[in-house]
Structure 1
Amino acid sequence: MAEPGEYPYDAGIHPTGYTTKVWTMRQLAGLSTAGSTNERFHYLLGLGETGLSLAFDLPTQLGLDPDDPRAEGEVGRTGVSIATVDDLAEVFKGIPLDRLSVSMTINATAPILLAMWVVVAEESGVDPASLRGTLQNEMPKEFLARKAYIYDIDTSMRYSLDVLEHCIRHLPTVNPVSLSGGHAREAGASRALEVACGIADAEVYLQGMVDRGLGVDEVARRFTFIFGAHMELLAEAAKFRVVRSLYAQRLRERWGATDERAMKMRVQVNTFGSALAHQEPLNNVVRSTIQALAAVLGGVQSLHVCSFDEAYQTPGELGARIALRTHQIMAEETDVARYVDPLGGSAVIERIAAEMRSEVEDWLRRIEDHGGMLGSIRSGWLESEIEDLAQREPGPRVGVKDQLRSETEEVVLQRERHKPLPSVQRGVERRACDAELKAIRDAVASGVNVMPTLIEAARARASLGQMCEAMAPQD
């Protein structure tokens, strides 16, 4: 086993662990409107949150303007509704974009949201090159697990790679992709397959960028990863040791990486919503705390803790506050951040890690035998494997006591219920931007990177739906 900060980084990527800097404390927020989301951000920042994480509603994820008939009933339901750059500007009103890290949970429309983010920065007096944060921008997992894609897989990958290329060349402190195994796990994958999916997805992006003429070190040092944390505390903590070391070894031995930064896997963890139960929801505070502790003991860089009410609604202020306080209590009132690699040398952890590594390597061989991640998705083989695994895994255990609600919980439920959604779709004010939309279509047809034309269209106030339509493959 290596020392913390030393290859292959099973003991962590930083030699001092959390003793000099604790993990970034993020809480996913995206309420129905830009204004309410801005209010939630300021609320969380006032409580001590150290990084923003933005969730978008389904129409925004799928490239639909809120007044599109196909968006009926979904506007603002699972996140914030964004139609134009002015909506995004309202989300970030009063927030210093050059000093706060922003994570955007967006995939199929990541190029458009990146373009809007750049324009918001420019128009607020911030140099886009100083933007800090992460775009999810991870398309293989959309086809494999979430299904929130717009174009075919090859077109989707092209645009996702356009984002990587633009960020590498122009936005030095924006992480252009967050490779995900966690979504496959939420869909039913095992812990080992979750790890394998994250690594296999990363290799798809590495190959795509190498094919564009960029070097492995140059690309991989801009990668971040998303995994989840479930209820088996020791196994989940061991998982992060396995994925870091296996990834570093594959980067060095298979891809020829030499830069330490390229081989150090930076990990964002979301505690798993699938572990929560809607009965006795306050018990979810305990569940989320156990999962968060597993992530911290595993040495991750960034963490989102699920709110107790996420099993039945978008988190209310009380749920969001308790989730953030969970971070702070772990960091300030316990000793888990006072020691570097607190689980290092544990015989139990080493045994779990060895068994898990063997399973992960077997999954990686099977994925490679099926044509890599993209081949495994195209054939439907990997999705079928995940579906089979999902049938074997039980959901959260709900005992007899969970069937009863206390008086306190009834009060909480009443206080934290959803605000009703608007009964009509929100209209979108569109300006004439025919030239900018034509430039997008020309870029699509010629095969060049679409990002410069998307930025110009965003600046001209083209809507998300207009830009998405212009990006559609042309016959």
Structure 2
Amino acid sequence: MGIPGEFPYDAGLHPGGYTTRLWTMRQLAGLYSAESTNSRFRYLLEMGETGLSLAFDLPTQLGLDPDAPAADGEVGRTGVSVATVDDLKTVFKEIPLDRVSVSFTINATAPMLLAMWIVAAEESDVDPAALRGTLQNEMLKEFLARKAYVYDLDTSVRYALDVVEYCMEHLPGVNPISVSGGHAREAGADAALEVACALASVDAYLAGMVERGHSAEQVASRFSFIFGTDMEVLKEAAKLRVARRRYAERMRDRWGVTAPRAMRLRAQVNTFGSALAYQEPLNNIVRATLQAVAAVLGGTQSLHVCSFDEAVQTPGPLGARIALRTQQIIAHETDLARYADPLGGSHVIEGLVEELGKEVDDWLERIEARGGVAACIRSGWLEGQIEELAYRDPGPTVGVLETSPSESERRLLQSEAHTTTGGRRDIERPDCEPELTRLRDDARAGRNILPALIEAVRRRATIGQLCTAMRPADDLSAPSLS
């Protein structure tokens, strides 16, 4: 077992663990409208949340304006609808962007949302350099697991690297990419493959940035990661130790990194939605609590806890409050945060770390032998492995014999539900053709698209206009929700 704060950081990133700084409590939120999302954010901040996490609806994720025919029925369903920078400004109304960290759960349209965040800050008299937070901006996992992509794989990764490059040069407080293993896990991967997918993706992103002339050390210091925790509490805690150890070793041995910051794997952990059941939904409070304990024992830097109602709807106020209170109770009413490495020296943990480490190494060797993660995505091999593992996972088993919630449970969920129509929302499209032409030219010439994006956003270009302008010349298709 390692020592907290020392290479390879399996025992934790800092010598004092949570005794010197608690994890960031960051509950994912994003409701139908910008106004309702702003209200939920202010509510969560009043309840003691320490970081915001913004979810977007599918049209926004896919670069569709909310009045596009293809968006019909999906506007506001899975998060907030954002068409222009004015929507994002409303989301953050009366929220100090220079003092509150914001995580954006956005990928294919991450460049557009980054440009909007920058302009929203400028127009709120906040220096964009003072912004703090994280962009998910992780396209490899979209092709592998989530499937919410707009462009082809190469173009998608190129735009993701544009975001990384711009943030490195202009936004020191923003983590420009959050490399994910958690989404592969939600799709069916086991714990070892979850870690391996994230580490293999790191190699792909680093190679792309090094090819652009950046040092691996500079780039890696800006990476963050997304993992999840399931119901095997000790194994999930051990998994995070394995991830930190393997990442530190690979940074040193494969990439020649020496700076401690670039070798420290900083993780956002989400409790798994796939572990929730819609039958007997209050049982999900227990499930999410145990998964949160696993994340804390594993040494996460940031944590989202699923709401008990999340298996059937966007979390209601009660579900969101209980999920946040779960984190606060763990932090302040238990002794889990009083020790830098509470699992250090455990023979059980040591055995799990050794076993998982060997499995991770095996997956990494298999991925590398097939040409790396991008090649494994193109061939379909890696997705096939995840699908095969998914069939072996039974999911929740307690309290799921009924086919639907009881009437009392249904009333509880409905009383908390945020009702949305999913219908289209009309928007205005300004005349910003010169800015869109510049964006189109920069996209097709291979230049970094962020400067042109920011100018177009200032002129109130819509996300649909931006997405169309960035489309490769040989790709005339439109994104679809099907």
Q: What band does the TM-score fall into relative to the shorter chain? A: over 0.9
1:279 maps to a residue whose letter is Q
Matches within 5 A, 1:370-385: 370-385=370-385
Q: In the TM superposition, what whole-angstrom CA distance separates every residue of 1:334-370 from its partner, at most 9, and x where no partner exists?
A: 0000011100000000001100000000000000011
Matches within 5 A, 1:297-336: 297-336=297-336
Residue 172 (structure 1) aligned with residue 183 (structure 2): no
Residue 457 (structure 1) aligned with residue 456 (structure 2): yes
Instruction: Tell me the secondary structure at the aligned position of residue 227 of structure 2.
Output: strand
Q: Give 1:210 deviation, angstroms.
A: 0.4
Tell me which residue corresponds to 1:390.
Answer: 390
- State the distance in 1 between where 2:144 and 2:305 align: 24
**Aligned-pair RMSD on alpha carbons?**
1.2
Tell me which residue corresponds to 1:138.
Answer: 138
TM-score (norm 1): 0.98
Q: Give 1:405 deviation, angstroms.
A: 6.0
Q: Give 1:203 deviation, angstroms.
A: 1.2
2:316 maps to a residue whose letter is G
Q: In the TM superposition, what whole-angstrom CA distance separates every residue of 1:45-101 from its partner, at most 9, and x where no partner exists?
A: 000000000000000000000000010100000000000000000000000000010
Matches within 5 A, 1:77-92: 77-92=77-92
Assess if the C-alpha contact under 8 Å between 1:32 and 1:76 holds in 2: yes
Q: Give 1:395 deviation, angstroms.
A: 1.5
Tell me which residue corresponds to 2:43.
Answer: 43
- State the distance in 2 between where 1:29 and 1:73 align: 20
Tell me which residue corresponds to 1:199.
Answer: 199
Q: Give 1:446 deviation, angstroms.
A: 1.4
Tell me which residue corresponds to 1:440.
Answer: 439
Instruction: Tell me the secondary structure at the aligned position of residue 18 of structure 1.
Output: helix
- State the distance in 2 between where 1:470 and 1:461 align: 14
- State the distance in 1 between where 2:211 and 2:268 align: 27
Tell me which residue corresponds to 1:474.
Answer: 473
Residue 6 (structure 1) aligned with residue 6 (structure 2): yes
1:141 maps to a residue whose letter is K
Assess if the C-alpha contact under 8 Å between 1:53 and 1:104 holds in 2: yes
Q: Give 1:402 deviation, angstroms.
A: 6.4
- State the distance in 1 between where 2:136 and 2:316 align: 24
1:474 maps to a residue whose letter is A
Tell me which residue corresponds to 2:277.
Answer: 277
- State the distance in 2 between where 1:282 and 1:400 align: 12
Tell me which residue corresponds to 2:245.
Answer: 245
- State the distance in 2 between where 1:270 and 1:330 align: 15
- State the distance in 2 between where 1:142 and 1:420 align: 26
Residues 400 and 291 of structure 1: CA distance in aligned 2, closer, same or farther (over 3 Å): closer
Q: Which shifted more, 393-402 or 227-236?
A: 393-402
Q: Give 1:418 deviation, angstroms.
A: 3.7
2:469 maps to a residue whose letter is A
- State the distance in 1 between where 2:9 and 2:82 align: 39
- State the distance in 2 between where 1:428 and 1:374 align: 37
Assess if the C-alpha contact under 8 Å between 2:182 and 2:227 holds in 1: yes
Matches within 5 A, 1:149-164: 149-164=149-164
Residues 391 and 404 of structure 1: CA distance in aligned 2, closer, same or farther (over 3 Å): closer
Q: Give 1:303 deviation, angstroms.
A: 0.1
Q: Give 1:411 deviation, angstroms.
A: 4.2
Residues 400 and 265 of structure 1: CA distance in aligned 2, closer, same or farther (over 3 Å): closer
Q: In the TM superposition, what whole-angstrom CA distance separates every residue of 1:418-456 from its partner, at most 9, and x where no partner exists?
A: 41415x411111111000000001101211100000000
- State the distance in 2 between where 1:343 and 1:128 align: 40
Q: In the TM superposition, what whole-angstrom CA distance separates every residue of 1:257-309 from its partner, at most 9, and x where no partner exists?
A: 01000000000000000000000000000000000000000001000000000
Tell me which residue corresponds to 1:187.
Answer: 187
Identical counterparts, % of pairs:
68
Structure 1: where are the runs of 5+ without partners? none
2:426 maps to a residue whose letter is G
Q: Which shifted more, 118-127 or 388-397?
A: 388-397
Residues 432 and 390 of structure 1: CA distance in aligned 2, closer, same or farther (over 3 Å): same
Q: How many residues align?
A: 474
Assess if the C-alpha contact under 8 Å between 1:84 and 1:116 holds in 2: yes
TM-score (norm 2): 0.97
Residue 425 (structure 1) aligned with residue 439 (structure 2): no
- State the distance in 1 between where 2:162 and 2:429 align: 26
Structure 2: where are the runs of 5+ without partners? 475-482
